[in-house]
Amino acid sequence: MANFHTRENKPPAIIYGTAWQGPEMKPLVCSAISAGINGFDTAEQQKNYSQGLLGDALRLHIGNSLVSRHDLWVQTKFSPYDNGLCKGTRTYETLEDIATHVHHSVPLCVSELWGSSPSSQKGSSSASASETYIDCLILHSVLQTLTETLAAWSAMESFVPHPVRALGISNISYARLRTLYDAVAIKPHVVQNAFCPDNGFDIEVRTFCQEKGIFYQGFFIVKRNKSLLKSTAVQEVANTLCVDLEPALMSLIESMGVSIIFGSSNEEHIKHNSEALARVKAYRGDGGHEWWGRMTESLKQTMYNGAN
């Protein structure tokens, strides 16, 4: 079984995204854990996520000693809008409402994930106090004004270091990220954005993250990068290592310092991709550095210059 997880409060290279998985969450999470995926992404936002079902599956595996809580990376999001993005309906009216919403949301996240509130560990389905934490709480999007965004962030800060170990931000531009970083006491530990041609592969944000020691996570790696599957680099990696195009692309992007948010509603697909990613990882660590470096640079040329 491959293991894509390392500790030291560092997100894993591969994170299973649970958006849109619905009632099939438990078997999918089971497949992900069995395949060595120990990172999970969810949100306290009912339209697209089933945070409680993820929690049920994780607690089941922990209770059966199939995995340790401390071997998992579990991140969730505070969503200030009903669909997680600024175009949705606001769930607040005043600055006080923002803080109130955060203070209601975080204990709910802990309860849904671990079966207890941060201050309670009673009940047979509850994890122990040392296990009822969130590795990273992510603000799903900036709010309509900087003042509102900072109000939400300040409320999130009050939960660090327990039950929240780190904070993150999603769906944010370079300019807004710089402003947020300079304004807050607890700096973002994670930035999670779409990784696609539409935003120039987020090069400014990724460079800023690298400079500040922020971990960058990318989603829509395959969905919005279909053209990259045809690139020379991806084709050569797939052919040389006998893997499919999707894990070849994900592996190349991951080697650029991007944690991959990988979602699938097919158990065999999860297993197949995980095995392929592990095969590539093993090759990279077994004398393939020079060739892999050439493949990575080739893909970068395709991404930024449109060359094949």
Helix spans in 158-259 (H): 174-183, 203-212, 232-241, 245-254
pLDDT value, residue 83: 52
Per-residue pLDDT band for 131 (boundaries 50, 70, 90) equals confident
Average pLDDT on 155-165 reads 97
- Establish if 290 belongs to a structural domain: no
- DSSP lists the bridge partners of residue 14 as 260
- Establish if 191 belongs to a structural domain: yes
Q: Is the pLDDT of residue 86 over 80?
A: no
pLDDT value, residue 169: 99
What share of the chain in percent tops pLDDT 70?
89
Q: Give the separation between CA 82 and CA 17, rounded to whole angstroms.
A: 19
Q: Is the pLDDT of residue 82 over 70?
A: no
Per residue in 193-241, pLDDT tens? 999 999 999 999 999 999 999 999 999 999 999 999 999 999 999 999 9
Q: Give the separation between CA 25 and CA 18, rounded to whole angstroms.
A: 8
Average pLDDT on 260-269 reads 90
Q: Tell which residue, 13, 17, 7, has the closest CA to residue 170.
A: 17
- Establish if 178 belongs to a structural domain: yes
Burial 194-224 (b: 16+ CB within 10 A, else e): bbbeeeebbeebbebbeeeebbbbbbebbee
Q: Tell which residue, 58, 51, 57, has the closest CA to residue 72.
A: 58
| Owning domain of residue 56 | 14-117+126-219
pLDDT value, residue 198: 94
Average pLDDT on 20-48 reads 90
Number of domain units in the chain: 1
pLDDT value, residue 184: 99
Q: Give the separation between CA 173 and CA 55, rounded to whole angstroms.
A: 31
CATH number at residue 141: 3.20.20.100
Give the least confident one: 19-28, 143-152, 244-253: 19-28
CB 109, CB 50: distance < 8 Å? no
- Establish if 296 belongs to a structural domain: no
One-letter amino acid identity for 213? G
Average pLDDT on 250-276 reads 93
Q: Is residue 107 packed enough to be buried (19+ CB in 10 Å), middle (13-18) or exposed (0-12)?
A: middle
- Establish if 289 belongs to a structural domain: no
